[in-house]
Amino acid sequence: MIEANTTSVVQQYLDELAGDAPPEPIIRALLDKSARRLYLLCSTWLFQSYPRLARPPVNLPADEMLSALVERLLKALRAVRPQTVRQFFALANRHIRWELNDLARHLEKQPLFVHVELDDVLAPASNGSGLSEDGCRMLEAIDKLPDDEREAFDLVRIQGLTHTEASQILGVTPLTVKRRLNRGLRLLVNELSDLQPPE
């Protein structure tokens, strides 16, 4: 019910944004009304895909991630006008990935200061930001999925929606969502086959 309400409210603001009214108040109201779902998106991305950023030395909380996302969306929505809920949350997902990738790359470049005794082994070169080479490949593979498959993957696997909820946003049947998700997963398995553990 909450998901359906969020979807309909977001669509109302997107329709207003396409009109002649001043955009700034509409954009702020849109972000305010979608904040709960945007927070869920930020939490999911942060704790599932970038858990190292939630631990020291960064200690990034989900609400701070949400603030960064809102700032990004305020700028993006001045130039881009999503027409559907689907396009709006696809834009949000893209900016979440960009923000977390930027933070992870920045962390990776920071020197790791570790107190060691002279007889100790040298500290490892990586500071473990969580953005490993394999992790980068996985994110790139997701980004390279065809649009339909990537949207189904984002909605079900990243945002945690059911097939029925995703189908309402995409305007297709739940069975179509399931097919797109399965196709996307097969493409990811083929693209990342070398990462699978040996049998």
Neighbours of 103 (CB within 10 A): 21
CA distances from 130 to 37, 49, 58, 135, 180 (A): 24, 8, 12, 8, 28
Q: Examine the pLDDT at 33 and tell me if it is beyond 90.
A: yes
Looking at residue 157, its pLDDT comes to: 86
- Euclidean distance between CA atoms 16 and 83, whole angstroms: 10
E strand or H helix that includes residue 188: helix 174-191
Question: Token pair for residue 184?
Answer: 């996307």
How buried is 109 (Cβ within 10 angstroms: 0-12 exposed, 13-18 middle, 19+ buried)? exposed
Whole-angstrom Cα distance, residue 11 to residue 28? 14
Instruction: State the pLDDT confidence band at 39, using cuts at 50, 70 and 90.
Output: very high
Q: How far apart are CA 169 and CA 156, in angstroms?
A: 11
Per-residue confidence band for 197, with pLDDT thresholds at 50, 70 and 90: low
Q: Work out the percent of the chain whose per-residue pLDDT is above 70.
A: 84
Mean pLDDT, rounded, for 1-15: 81
HSE-CB at 13 with a 13 A cutoff on CA atoms is: 20
How does pLDDT run across 119-165, given as a tens digit for each residue?
444 444 444 444 567 777 887 888 889 999 988 998 888 778 889 98
Residue 172 backbone zone (phi > 0: left; psi -120 to 50: alpha; other: beta):
beta
pLDDT tens digit sequence for 58-105: 889 999 999 999 999 999 998 899 999 989 998 999 899 889 888 888
The mean predicted confidence, pLDDT, of the chain is: 83
pLDDT of 116 above 80: no
Average pLDDT estimate for 7-14: 93
Averaged pLDDT for residues 99-122: 64
Q: Write down the pLDDT at residue 7.
A: 86
pLDDT recorded at residue 124 = 45
What percent of the chain has pLDDT above 90? 44
Residue 42 has pLDDT above 60, yes or no: yes
Res 169: pLDDT: 84
The predicted structure's pLDDT at residue 51: 87
Report which of 113, 73, 92 is spatially closest to residue 169, judged by C-alpha positions: 92
Which has the closest alpha carbon to 88: 9, 165, 24? 9
Which DSSP string corresponds to 77-110? HHH----SHHHHHHHHHHHHHHHHHHHHHHHHHS
Residue 36 has pLDDT above 60, yes or no: yes
Residue with tokens 């097969």, as numbered in its chain: 186
